[in-house]
Amino acid sequence: MYNDAYSSEAATGLGIVFWIFYFALIIFMIVVMWKIFVKAGKPGWGCIIPIYNIILQLEIVGRPFWWLFLLLIPYVNIFFAVVIILDMAKVFGKDESLFEAGMLFLPFIFFPILAFDSSEYTEIEH
């Protein structure tokens, strides 16, 4: 009986730690995206508004507005989201394949690098 109470308290403690870490990561990524938007000359607060943040990302990477509708189609959206992420690296001069792969597979590391390094936004027309 003692072990059950102890394991329940331990699980609750781990759950609380998980949620604190989770919300801290969310806040950190909002700050990162805010910084990226400002670096690209867009309003930083736009990163917290659903749909509008996608429109701003499309403007940053120079893709047409109608891509928003492609991002609403299941499975198709994966391809277009990858293209947007790769384009995001290019417009900030980070078009090395390792950095692009990092942005795809380790976004919580490489997006902050993009946000806080000295790279500059360069508009690209497609």
Residue ranges covered by each domain of the chain = 2-116
Give the mean pLDDT of the chain: 91
pLDDT, residue 15, reads 84
Cα(85)–Cα(94) distance, integer angstroms: 11
pLDDT value at residue 28:
97
Rg (CA), the chain: 18
pLDDT, tens digit (0-9, with 9 covering 90-100), for 4-21 = 555 677 778 788 989 999
* b (16+ CB within 10 A) / e for 52-82: ebbebbbbbbebeeebeeebeeeeeeeebbe
**pTM strictly above 0.75:** yes
Residue 5 confidence (pLDDT): 55
Residues 6+ apart with CB under 8 A from 30: 47, 48
Phi, then psi, of 61 in degrees rounded to 5? -90, 0
